[in-house]
Structure 1
Amino acid sequence: MKAKPGDDVVLQCDSLRVSAITVLKWIRIDLQLEGYIFFFRENRGYENYQDPSYRDRVELKDPKMKDGDASVILENVTLNDTGTYECHIGYEGTHDLINIHLTVDPGDAAGRKDGGDMRGHLGLIAVSLTVVVLVVAGLVGFVLYRKGQKDRIHTN
């Protein structure tokens, strides 16, 4: 799955079982995190089990998890959210496991909520224009200096 920085994405996790979900754990398997992406047990989420970088950015798509929908919404994704996620759905005596790979690509930052990398591009453009102006001014100054030298030689 692909997203751009600033997007909200749905990490899809659907169970085909009709049993009630007793535990739901979302983890990042490519990182050693301090906690879970999302942890749910006893009919409620546990924010204190979440890794700090995901706190206040992840919620269940359907809080009632109707029809086995254990998907979560990851808000305001960043490049650091690129990785492989695992959804562990626990039932009485068994569980399901689903993997999702998320790629956050800066691409066209024009649609970003915060302006994103555009500030860096604008800064680079401003520096480039300044260099061009200085080079042109230097060339014009040099040409005028040389013309003044020639005029002085011809008048002497």
Structure 2
Amino acid sequence: MKAGVHILCSFLAELKNITAEPGQNVTLTCRLSDQNQVLVLEWSRTDLQEDEYVFLYRDDKSDSDHQHKSFRNRVFLKDSRMGDGDLSVVLKNATTDDNGTYQSRVEGNGRTRRSVLDSPPICTIHLLVILPGEQRDSEVK
């Protein structure tokens, strides 16, 4: 049975490290401390092009038009209503190609109306997907 990996990230964009094995579903957990409506939620990976996303939510639905092809049909909101400020996404069937640093950004009511790309990350997570038995030097104990 494949287990999911979960990590909680606070409002401050503190870097969190997680380790998973290929085939696992990985939850990139992030929670917004205020309860304002989220108009745009963007999850990106720092090594992707600026116009490519891991996951993008806007206009009350996920938007796959600019989603990087390797993430299509593999990333979804953990809670489709984003209840209680839960901005977490689940990455299905992780592979070593998913290694990298993920960041989430938001634009919502009560926030300055500026480009999501210009806003600071809410959460930053470094994901390391390794084969069973490989050295886990980057794993947080």
> Is TM (by shorter chain) over 0.5?
yes
Larger helix fraction of residues: 1
* C-alpha separation in 2, matches of 1:10 and 1:107: 19
Runs of 4+ in structure 1 displaced over 6 angstroms? none
Structure 2 matches for 1:42-121, cutoff 5 A? 42-92=59-109, 93-94=111-112, 97-108=122-133
Scaled by the length of structure 1, what TM-score is found? 0.65
Name the count of aligned residue pairs. 109
Does the 8 Å contact 2:32/2:122 carry over to 1? Answer: no
Percent identity of equivalent pairs: 39
- The higher radius of gyration belongs to 1
Larger strand fraction of residues: 2
Q: Could you tell me how far 1:32 is from its partner in structure 2?
A: 3.1
More relative contact order, 1 or 2 (CA 8 Å, 6+ apart): 2
SS at match of 1:80: helix
Structure 2 matches for 1:127-146, cutoff 5 A? none
Paired residue type of 1:88: R
Scaled by the length of structure 2, what TM-score is found? 0.72
* C-alpha separation in 1, matches of 2:70 and 2:79: 22
Q: Any stretches of 5+ residues in structure 1 without a counterpart?
A: 110-156
Does the 8 Å contact 2:43/2:103 carry over to 1? Answer: yes
* Alignment correspondent of 1:22: 39
Q: 1:18 to 1:25 in 2, by over 3 A?
A: same
Which string of whole-angstrom CA distances, capped at 9 and with x for unpartnered residues, describes residues 84-128 of structure 1? 00011211234662101100011249xxxxxxxxxxxxxxxxxxx
RMSD, matched Cα = 1.8
